[in-house]
Structure 1
Amino acid sequence: MRKADRLFQIIQILRRSSRPVTSAQLAEELEVARRTVYRDIAHLIAQRVPIEGATGYGYVLDPGYEMPPLMLTPDEIEAVVLGVQMVTRLNDATIRNAASDVMAKIASVMPPDLLPYIADPSVGIKPGEVSDEAMLDTRPIRRAIREGRKLYLDYRAADGELTSRVVWPVLLGYEDSHSLLIAWCQSKQDFRHFRTDGILKIEILDEVIGVSKSKLRKEWQQRRCAELLKRGPSR
């Protein structure tokens, strides 16, 4: 993560938290050493970002810290709120945190007269619980998709079969209880769907796919549509 991105993320972590955030917590989420956090906090304070705190206590961001107002319509605000509610139900901690960051960013720059659309929206999803089961860290998958690089997987299928594969990641899809990696499998020479809870080991390879993300995704979509047409309409 670039320093500029890391500094911005520190602000977002502090913004979404109602309690002091320790250097250890920041270091864990940012995946850096605590001494890096100390340097970054010092840099932000030097840039007049109103952060208060100390080692062993934690850091807080002054709630009065403001950015230029974001102009959204009530419909747009409630669309974002609904989307964030859905994402926070997913069994993926990094995505849930990202959704909370988005909501915190929007709320922090929203004009006061629009804040009620966040605090008391007219839309919502059915209440439910988020699974506490351990889930694969999906950050390597998403990174590989963005960078167009191949992945090595150790995978356990639903029937218990263990395989090792090199795949070209296309898309990470989500449902309420699980997520799926959609990828081109080199050994099968075809697109396959891998449940992330069946992935035992994952490694980003140096080898690039050599096909653009948009072209690979378009080819998957075309094949998917062709399969659905063969099956005919559902009854």
Structure 2
Amino acid sequence: MSQLARLISILTLLKSRRVLTATELSNRFDVSVRTVYRDMQKLIEAGVPVITLEGRGYTLMDGYTVAPVQFTEKQANALITAEHLVNQSNDSSFVKDFGEALTKIKSVFRSSVLEKSELLNNKMYVFDTRKQNISSNALSEIQLAITNFNYVEINYRKADDPNISFRKIEPYFIFSTENKWILIAWCYLRNDYRAFRIDRIQHFKILPDHFEDRKFSIQDYIKREHEEALRENNGSI
């Protein structure tokens, strides 16, 4: 049994309002007590209100319920497929947050759907043909900065440039291309919109101050970039 399937099984048992001991869970799933401790920590990190009763075991906080949502087998398979694709992302924060969200979603799967989704999970693989070893850990925080209009300070390194520049930015838009996440932001150093590859951000800090929305339009940005490219090409003829 995979860790995810075990976590969902533990959650199902907890939802029955039982008090479960680490030893009981260890014997039930044929794992060590230390593994049970790690499983409980995973559930807590995913937002499940697990309570430890001193000398008795684990239970759920009173009033905790899971929405009665029913997923079809095809819908469950779509989520499993999405998980494989997400795991190819170069941003570890995104992979982590999606995994925790999926743990919660799978907790409402019917047992038959869960069993088949685990079967599909073991029969699927996404090959990564990237030659570059690129990674980042900023996407989730930057997404929050975009939706909450927070200034961000970054140390940024351009391609083939050993120098790192400090930028204060207003984040507006993100997109992914060739497994690379790109952030479009207003850059105070350049006094204009600039595109930043998130994996080239060496360090970032989300500031508590909020900026005024400049009503950024990705369509206008693309049009402007296209027109500038045409002018450069015409000038080089």
Q: For this structure pair, what is the TM-score category when the shorter chain's length is used for normalisation?
A: 0.5 to 0.7
Q: Is the 8 A contact 2:168 2:187 kept in 1?
A: yes
Give the match for residue 165 of structure 1: 167
Task: Please list, as runs of the form range in 1=range in 2, the aligned pairs for 1:1-235 lying within 5 A after superposition.
Answer: 19-22=35-38, 44-45=50-51, 67-121=66-120, 124=124, 126-128=126-128, 135-160=136-161, 161-175=163-177, 177-211=179-213, 215-216=215-216, 219-225=217-223, 227-228=225-226
| 1:18-61 CA-partner distances (Å, limit 9, x unpaired) | 833459x77xx69xxxxxxxxx99x842xxxxx6899xxxx988
Residue 120 of structure 1 aligns to a residue whose secondary structure is helix
Residues 103-112 or 172-181, more deviating: 172-181
Deviation (angstroms), 1:68:
4.9
On the 8 A contact 1:52/1:61 being kept in 2, the answer is: yes
The C-alpha deviation readout for 1:79-138, integer Å capped at 9, x for no partner, is 222222111121222221222223222222112332345223499553349998763444
How far the C-alpha of 1:177 sits from its partner, in A, is 4.9
Distance 1:172 1:230, change over 3 A: closer
Residues 145, 61 of structure 1: CA spacing in aligned structure 2 closer, same or farther, 3 A cutoff?
farther
TM-score scaled by length of structure 2: 0.60
Offset at 1:200?
A: 2.4
When the two structures are superposed, what TM-score results if normalisation uses the length of structure 1?
Answer: 0.60
Is the Cα–Cα contact under 8 Å of residues 138 and 198 in structure 2 kept in the other structure? no
Asked whether the 8 Å contact 2:184–2:193 carries over to 1, the reply is: yes
Given that 1:82 and 1:125 are in contact with CA atoms closer than 8 Å, whether structure 2 keeps it comes out as no
- Counterpart-to-counterpart distance in 2, 1:78 and 1:68: 20
Distance in 2, Cα, partners of 1:144 & 1:230: 29
Distance (Å, rounded) in 2 between the aligned partners of 1:229 and 1:105:
46
RMSD: 4.3
Q: Evaluate the alpha carbon distance shift between residue 21 and residue 179 of structure 1 in structure 2; reply closer, same or farther with a 3 A threshold.
A: farther
Partners of 2:197 and 2:104 in 1: CA distance: 32
Distance 1:69 1:176, change over 3 A: farther
> What's the offset of the Cα at 1:231?
6.8
Paired residues of 2:91 and 2:135 also in contact (CA < 8 A)? no
CA distance in 2, matches of 1:95, 1:166: 23
Structure showing greater radius of gyration is: 2
Distance in 1 (alpha carbons) for counterparts of 2:186 and 2:222: 13
The alignment of Structure 1 onto Structure 2 pairs a total of residues equal to 191
> Contact 2:90/2:179 (CA < 8 Å) preserved in 1?
yes
When residues 203 and 101 of structure 1 are mapped into structure 2, their CA distance, relative to the original with a 3 A threshold, is closer
Change (3 A) 1:171 1:60: farther
Q: Is the 8 A contact 2:157 2:165 kept in 1?
A: yes
C-alpha distance 53-190 of structure 1, shift in aligned 2 (>3 A): farther
SS class of match (1:155): strand
Q: 1:198 to 1:60 in 2, by over 3 A?
A: farther
- Structure 2: 5+ residue stretches without partners: 1-6, 12-30, 231-237
User: Residue 107 of structure 2 aligns to a residue in which SS?
Assistant: helix
Q: CA 1:133/1:188 → structure 2, altered by over 3 Å: closer, same or farther?
A: closer
